[in-house]
A and B are shown apart, each in its own frame.
Chain A
Amino acid sequence: MYKALIIDDERPVRIAISKLGDWNHFHIEMPEMAENGKDALEKMQSGNYDICFVDMQMPVMNGSMFLQECAREFPDTGVIVISGYDDFSYVQNAIRCGAVDYLLKPIVKSELDLAIEKAIRKIHPDVDFSSESEDSNISAEDVIAMIHNTIDTNYCSSIQISDFSDKYFFSREYLSKLFKAKYECSIYEYLIRVRMEHARELLLDPDRKILDIAQAVGYGDTNYFSKAFRNCCGITPSEFRKQNNCGE
């Protein structure tokens, strides 16, 4: 698998490239990010990147400075320049500094794929992309399934939607909406439900302390756990235990 690096201080560009690129098809791992040229060079020291996307306008170290550095230190990296400008001299300058291709904002998928292929072929001329791989990019469906799964297995840890939304570049609202549409409850409701189900099971064991149980299902203190449990089941954990114990 090849490695890609997106160097841009603007999140929208990073999102667009990540989402639009046909990474699987080109045997590329999900690209990594850097916010400026300096950052990127540091990252490139450690990791071995095959292609990188660089915005010409960035703080700390701008695109052309980066291009010069990169050409000297990492001549084997295919650089694709991103620009808002469609100025011939500008583009010419970028190509002279060793860029393989350039992309204009807003990024068009077909142009992006062409540029990626061009960059890969520059370093690995004989690579063959003919093998049809499956739909490369993770869809929103996949992500909510992933969230569902994670909740089922990792309910005790603290789970944030932003972890998924940031990783897979979907908005939290979109993911929440999709999740609710699919599982008929929100992500948090589901998480609490899963946690409470586990808590109820654990409460049946009279030897376990409530604090213990609270921590086991991901709550730091009993008060909060009790509140959540009462919200969910209508009674406090201790009442639940008494009822069940009485029943026995």
Chain B
Amino acid sequence: MADIIKSHKQNKLSISIRQRMDKAPLWLELTTILTILMILLTAALTTATYRRNRQVTLSSETETSRQMLQLKTMNLERYIDELAAFSIQSVYDNSLYASMQSRTPLSDTERSSISSYIRGFYYSRSDLNSFMMYLINQGLDVGYSSGSTVGYERVRFKAVDSADYTSIIESCNESPNNCSILPASSSNSLFHFDHTIVRVRDNSPIALISFDVDLTELEGLTQNSTGLDRFIVLLNSEGDLLYSDLDYITDNYGPDSERVVLFPESGSSDTITLNGVKYLSVSEADSKYGLKLVSLVPVGQLTQKVRSASFDAVLEQIMFFALAIVLIFLLVRWLTQPLSVLSSKQEKAGTGDFSSIDIGRSREIKALSNSFNEMTTHIGSLIDQNYASELNEKTAQLAALEAQMNPHFLYNTLQAIGSEALMHDEMDVYTMLTSLAGNLRYSIKAAAEVPLQDEMKYVDNYIRLQKVRMGDRLTVSQKIDPATLVALIPKISIQPLVENSIQHGIQGDRTSVKILIEAFYKGDYLVIRVTDDGIGISPEDIGNLNNSFTRQTLADNGASIGLTNLYHRIRLMYENDAALQIKSETGESSYTSVTMILSVNSSRITEVTKKQTSDTETEQTKQNV
């Protein structure tokens, strides 16, 4: 059920859309479609551009990082070389070298000599935090550091367990340059550097030089001129963290087993996520010492850059887009304009305007307008022909009718017939004839309104002619207020009432009818009432009749055409200032009365009164006589 309703709704929707589209002009549809296409195209282009820009930015950043890292690695390598070279200086001093090889306990002289050497070494470089020498044969650790813990600077001699150094020495021996780089023990050192001194003769280690390098070199490592946040991670060959300026790594980069961060292989790039932040990471390893430099750039920053660049591009695109829409609109209007002209022209042609059009622009449109012109011309000429032939026919008919109905001929003939009747003393026939002639003259007279007395003359003639047919079965009495005689009323307005009364009066079992015609003033209205004593009209039929009054078209039930016609005529002439009321009763004292109420326009009366005065006077005179 719900589905049905839904599908019904959809149907309704599609229908309403179709209806709207039917109503929408072509140019609007075209513009809309082209605009939608434009939007889709622009969106696709923008997305693609954004993606490509992002890609380009990322790869260029990767390249930049790599080059920078290479440079830095080189610098670092050179620095380490320097350190390595520095660390084996002790070999070149024979006495020191001898002391290093000596297995016998060191004399004081040797000790002071060693300690001055050590001090010398320490001070020969400004970037050392400590300098230590482990004499393997002696099992003695000689060190110098600037640590404040001691309180003064001095070289310490300390006997140590050789086991402490075994791993370091081994790792140094394994490395090709006899050195190893380990994370520094204190935070103010960059890393810890170990180098074994090897006896050339048997290639056995005799001493281990180790020192902490301070953060001087860091400046070169962290130097960053790209304007982006860039973090550096320094790992040794074992993968231990030597340095990182990203706190998250410093805090979380643990021993082998717990390494949460996997940096990409040397020379490659990858994106890694640290603490929820995405970084573009590029790493570069130094081939000599196995040091690994990783650069981390937040991807967000890069995309931000791309985005802000894209935003400008989108703004531009929107401007172009707006321009394009305006152009599309103008173009579509320009292209479809001939069609709308044609369409409106066709509508006009429907109402009879057959003028030709010229809307040529393209071949098809030109063909359309040409065929339209041909069509309208053809239709126009057909109509003209038809019209002309019909007019000719009508004119011929009218001429024929006129020849017969030529007033002179007609009235002369009537006069001849009448005179013939007179010669036979047939005064009744003559009266009938003059009544008929008078009514004929009256009914073809071109006047919408006539004085009431003229209409009454017409009614009298009509009654006279009807009486010839009906004899005593028709009785008509009149109660006309003399003041109303000059009132202007619509021509042939009382006669239909009388005709109606006669028609309805002798319906059913009635064979005779009595009719009363009244005319009087009531306020500003002239009331004309015709009453008959016929069988009356049922309320139902009165309702039907009133309905047919309100309808604009004429009633089709023959009997009431006269009244309906009259109603529409007086409504046309008087608008709301006229009415036709029907009252009726059936049964014992049945009657039907039709009352016509017309507003009295004083200006109308005076106009006629002047004209009629002379006649009235004459009549009065006659009465006097």
Using a CB–CB cutoff of 8 Å, the interface residues on chain A facing chain B are 10-13, 15-16, 19-20, 57, 84-86, 104-108, 114, 117-118, 129-130, 139-140, 165, 169-171, 173-174
B522 at the interface (CB under 8 A from A): no
B265 at the interface (CB under 8 A from A): no
* CB <8 Å contact, B408 and A19: no
Using a CB-CB cutoff of 8 Å, which residues 408-467 of chain B contact chain A?
Answer: 408, 410-412, 414-416, 418-420, 422-425, 430, 433-434, 437-438, 441, 445
* CB <8 Å contact, A15 and B411: no
B360 at the interface (CB under 8 A from A): no
B412's partner among A10, A19, A20 (CB-CB below 8 A) is A10
User: A16 vs B417: C-alpha distance in the bound complex, in angstroms?
Assistant: 10
* CB <8 Å contact, A13 and B419: yes
* CB <8 Å contact, A171 and B407: no
User: A11 vs B430: C-alpha distance in the bound complex, in angstroms?
Assistant: 16
Q: Which residues of A contact B438 (CB under 8 A)?
A: 108
Known interface pairs A57-B408, A84-B407, A106-B437. Does A11 touch B419 (Cβ–Cβ under 8 Å)? yes
Known interface pairs A106-B434, A129-B625. Does A10 touch B415 (Cβ–Cβ under 8 Å)? yes
Q: Which residues of A contact B414 (CB under 8 A)?
A: 105-106
Q: Which residues of A contact B445 (CB under 8 A)?
A: 86
* CB <8 Å contact, B411 and A105: yes
B618's partner among A19, A107, A114, A170 (CB-CB below 8 A) is A114
Can you list 9 A-B pairs, Cβ within 8 angstroms, ordered by A?
A: A15-B423, A16-B418, A16-B422, A19-B419, A19-B423, A84-B410, A107-B415, A107-B434, A108-B434
* CB <8 Å contact, B622 and A117: yes
Residue of B with least CB distance to A169: B423
* CB <8 Å contact, B618 and A118: yes
Q: Which residues of A contact B408 (CB under 8 A)?
A: 57, 84-85
Residue of A with least CB distance to B424: A174
Known interface pairs A108-B434, A114-B618. Does A171 touch B412 (Cβ–Cβ under 8 Å)? no
A-B contact sample (9 more), CB < 8 A, given A10-B416, A19-B423, A170-B424: A11-B419, A16-B415, A20-B422, A107-B418, A114-B622, A117-B622, A140-B425, A171-B423, A174-B425
User: A20 vs B434: C-alpha distance in the bound complex, in angstroms?
Assistant: 12
**CB proximity of A59 to chain B, nearest CB, Å:** 14
* CB <8 Å contact, A85 and B423: no
Q: Which residues of B contact A165 (CB under 8 A)?
A: 423
* CB <8 Å contact, B437 and A170: no
**CB proximity of A3 to chain B, nearest CB, Å:** 22
**CB proximity of A102 to chain B, nearest CB, Å:** 13
Number of interface residues of B (CB under 8 A): 25
* CB <8 Å contact, B622 and A170: no
Q: Which residues of B contact A106 (CB under 8 A)?
A: 411, 414-415, 418, 430, 433-434, 437
**CB proximity of A200 to chain B, nearest CB, Å:** 36
* CB <8 Å contact, A171 and B418: no
User: A173 vs B407: C-alpha distance in the bound complex, in angstroms?
Assistant: 30
Known interface pairs A130-B625, A174-B424. Does A12 touch B411 (Cβ–Cβ under 8 Å)? no
* CB <8 Å contact, B407 and A170: no
Q: Which residues of A contact B419 (CB under 8 A)?
A: 11-13, 15-16, 19
User: A106 vs B407: C-alpha distance in the bound complex, in angstroms?
Assistant: 11
Q: Which residues of B contact A20 (CB under 8 A)?
A: 422
* CB <8 Å contact, B441 and A104: yes
User: A57 vs B407: C-alpha distance in the bound complex, in angstroms?
Assistant: 13
* CB <8 Å contact, A12 and B424: no
* CB <8 Å contact, B422 and A15: yes
Residue of A with least CB distance to B433: A106
User: A104 vs B412: C-alpha distance in the bound complex, in angstroms?
Assistant: 10
User: A57 vs B434: C-alpha distance in the bound complex, in angstroms?
Assistant: 21
User: A13 vs B413: C-alpha distance in the bound complex, in angstroms?
Assistant: 10
A170's partner among B416, B423, B434, B441 (CB-CB below 8 A) is B423
Q: Which residues of A contact B434 (CB under 8 A)?
A: 106-108
**CB proximity of A18 to chain B, nearest CB, Å:** 9
Q: Which residues of B contact A117 (CB under 8 A)?
A: 622
* CB <8 Å contact, B622 and A12: no
User: A16 vs B437: C-alpha distance in the bound complex, in angstroms?
Assistant: 15
User: A15 vs B407: C-alpha distance in the bound complex, in angstroms?
Assistant: 20
* CB <8 Å contact, B618 and A12: no
User: A18 vs B617: C-alpha distance in the bound complex, in angstroms?
Assistant: 27
User: A92 vs B624: C-alpha distance in the bound complex, in angstroms?
Assistant: 29
User: A118 vs B618: C-alpha distance in the bound complex, in angstroms?
Assistant: 9
**CB proximity of A178 to chain B, nearest CB, Å:** 8
Q: Which residues of A contact B423 (CB under 8 A)?
A: 15, 19, 165, 169-171, 174
Residue of B with least CB distance to A141: B425
Known interface pairs A104-B441, A105-B414, A106-B414. Does A170 touch B425 (Cβ–Cβ under 8 Å)? yes
Residue of A with least CB distance to B445: A86
* CB <8 Å contact, B424 and A171: yes
A105's partner among B415, B422, B430 (CB-CB below 8 A) is B415
**CB proximity of A135 to chain B, nearest CB, Å:** 13
Residue of B with least CB distance to A10: B412
Q: Which residues of A contact B622 (CB under 8 A)?
A: 114, 117
Residue of B with least CB distance to A57: B408
Residue of A with least CB distance to B427: A109
* CB <8 Å contact, B625 and A86: no
Q: Which residues of B contact A105 (CB under 8 A)?
A: 411-412, 414-415, 437
* CB <8 Å contact, A13 and B415: yes
User: A108 vs B431: C-alpha distance in the bound complex, in angstroms?
Assistant: 8
* CB <8 Å contact, A19 and B422: yes
B407's partner among A85, A108, A174 (CB-CB below 8 A) is A85
* CB <8 Å contact, B618 and A169: no
Q: Which of B407, B415, B425, B622 has the most CB of A within 10 A?
A: B415
Residue of B with least CB distance to A172: B423
